[in-house]
Structure 1
Amino acid sequence: MPKPLNPKCQLCSKLPTSKAKVLHGTQGDGCWNPKVCHNRRSFYRRRTQNENNGTEIDAIAVKPPATYFAVLYLYKEPGDKPLHALGAELWLGQKPVCRLEPIHCFGLTAGKIRAYTDQVLQAFAKQYDVSLYQYKDMFEITSSYCPVRPCPLHPQS
């Protein structure tokens, strides 16, 4: 029985090599192995092309419903680590319409963070005259991708 395909490698094969090395190299998650990754990426790319060439299926387009929803971005390390930063976005259908630029959470208690995220929801609701009771989704992003500058994780050179 053949070995199952690795979804992580499938996604990686679609990236340019330079980005793949950054995401999965020593600065990323550390899974990049130059002895096997080049061949494996080529295998996954060719496999995807062959699957797409073999069978052609019809596609239709149906406009998705345009509803407002908010998402919360949490910049933190995996596990039970403290929150480094947070940001939020308001979406209408498939497009973001408003963004709260991320802020650092140093010195903020869990209660203050909760109150702040509730204020953000209220601000989105007031600005666009919609009802928002909670965030539709929360995404945890590793703190090394923190976009706030200046940041202790990214000292100025």
Structure 2
Amino acid sequence: MLDAAQAQALHGSEGDGCWNPKVCYSRRSYARHRDRKNQQRNRSRQESVLKTLEVEIPEFAYLYYAVLVVYRAAGGDTPVHAISAQVWQGQQQIAIVEPIHCVGMVPSQVHLYVRKLLALLDEEYGTRKFASLERIDPQQCPMHPCLHHPLVVA
């Protein structure tokens, strides 16, 4: 942490006598810059280790699938805040079902909405079930106003 002049005064001929100009300048430089050098070294290791492979999957490029998006807090018995859906074809998102708030709905009403949503997706895209379920925290609800994003009146 000392500058070169202070280190020489402390460890030079007037100090404990361990200062060696052939070695100490290099060691001090390494100590000052070791974080940056280690970070660069780690990056180069990761880049050399990681290799990106692409698999050609033309047979799946025209496959439709749907993802159910549920805005719900973590926990077993938390209420569903909102529901949305996404439709994908291969690796491209092609449609979205806008989210609706489920506040005030009983569980049977939520299930009825999901069944109607699946019927619509089956009619449009031939999707009979959801490929996956994505759970998102209600704080990230995109609809405004809602319980987590009240209408602000100035």
TM-score by length of 1: 0.62
> 2:113 aligns to what?
116
Question: What's the Cα RMSD here?
Answer: 2.5
Question: Where is the helix percentage greater, Structure 1 or Structure 2?
Answer: 2
> 1:67 aligns to what?
63
* Gap runs ≥5 in structure 2: 1-34
Residues 62, 101 of structure 1: alpha-carbon distance in 2 compared, 3 angstrom cutoff: same
Matches within 5 A, 1:12-91: 47-52=42-47, 54-55=48-49, 57=51, 59-64=53-58, 65=60, 66-79=62-75, 80-91=77-88
Q: Which has the larger radius of gyration?
A: 2
Instruction: Give the distance between the partners of 1:58 and 1:74, measured in 2 at CA.
Output: 32
> 2:137 aligns to what?
142
* Gap runs ≥5 in structure 1: 1-38
Q: Give a deviation string over 1:86-125, Cα, whole Å, max 9, x none.
A: 1001111111111110110011111111111111111122
Q: Is the 8 A contact 2:68 2:86 kept in 1?
A: yes
Residues 78, 127 of structure 1: alpha-carbon distance in 2 compared, 3 angstrom cutoff: same
Instruction: Give the distance between the partners of 2:42 and 2:64, measured in 1 at CA.
Output: 38
Instruction: Give the distance between the partners of 1:58 and 1:69, measured in 2 at CA.
Output: 25
Q: How far has the Cα of 1:133 moved from its partner?
A: 2.4
> 1:96 aligns to what?
93
Residues 51, 92 of structure 1: alpha-carbon distance in 2 compared, 3 angstrom cutoff: same
Instruction: Give the distance between the partners of 2:50 and 2:136, measured in 1 at CA.
Output: 37
TM-score by length of 2: 0.63
Q: How far has the Cα of 1:82 moved from its partner?
A: 0.5
Instruction: Give the distance between the partners of 1:75 and 1:111, measured in 2 at CA.
Output: 17
Q: How many pairs does the alignment contain?
A: 113
Residues 119, 48 of structure 1: alpha-carbon distance in 2 compared, 3 angstrom cutoff: farther
Instruction: Give the distance between the partners of 1:135 and 1:58, measured in 2 at CA.
Output: 29
Percent identical pairs in the alignment equals 28
Query: Which 4+ stretches in 1 moved above 4 angstroms?
Result: 55-58
